[in-house]
Amino acid sequence: MAEDPRRGIVEVMARLGRATQFHIDERYRHFQITDAVTVVISVVLVILAAWNVYHVRTLYKSLDGIVRSMESMYGHLRDVDGDMSKVARQMQAFDRHTSHMEAINGHMRSMAATLPEMRSDITAITADTGAIERNMSLMSQSMVVIDQRVHLMLGSMSGMRENVRQIARPMGGMMPFVP
């Protein structure tokens, strides 16, 4: 039998068809792999986004707590400042009263001269009175220094409170959906 000339063309076309189908199947398999990788990466990104939202919310709450603590501390320092001012005024009044100790000291000396049997006790009291007067003077000076330092701490706390508010304010703007 004679060979049909179309047979070669049919075989070539059949081979081309098989090769094309093989490439289509391979491409389909690659698309399935790419789709699976895309889904896995999307799930990982969603998990990471939820994780980040949790941490931003935690940070926001922590900063809010810090601001509340700073405001509370500021209020307490203001109260302490008022109390220290009262103590300083009381110490000044007490210092004015102790300025009369010199007159008392003089009277004690005269009593020591007139009452020789009580002289040793009166001398000890006189020495203690002078030491008390010196200590009270030092204490009055210390109270003035403490009052100044409390005022400085109050100013620093006000600055720190404003700085923490400036940090917390953008966090509140960036995360308005976080309760």
The pLDDT assigned to 172 comes to 63
Residue 177 has pLDDT above 60, yes or no: no
Q: Which among 70-74, 139-143, 169-173 has the top mean pLDDT? A: 70-74
The two tokens of residue 96 are: 């004015």
For residue range 93-108, list pLDDT tens digits in order: 888 877 777 777 777 7
Alpha-carbon span 88 to 147, nearest angstrom: 7
For residue range 103-141, list pLDDT tens digits in order: 777 777 777 677 676 667 777 788 888 888 888 888 888
Give the burial string for 145-174 (b: 16+ CB within 10 Å, else e): eebeebeeeeeebeeebeebeeebeebeee
| Tokens 């210390």 sit on residue | 142
Q: What is the mean pLDDT of the chain?
A: 84
Full-model pTM: 0.38
CA dihedral 168, 80, 148, 151 (to 10 degrees): 20
Of 9-13, 155-159, 160-164, 173-177, the range with the lowest mean pLDDT is: 173-177
The pLDDT assigned to 168 comes to 74
What burial class does residue 76 get, using C-beta atoms within 10 Å of its C-beta: 0-12 exposed, 13-18 middle, 19+ buried? exposed
What burial class does residue 59 get, using C-beta atoms within 10 Å of its C-beta: 0-12 exposed, 13-18 middle, 19+ buried? middle
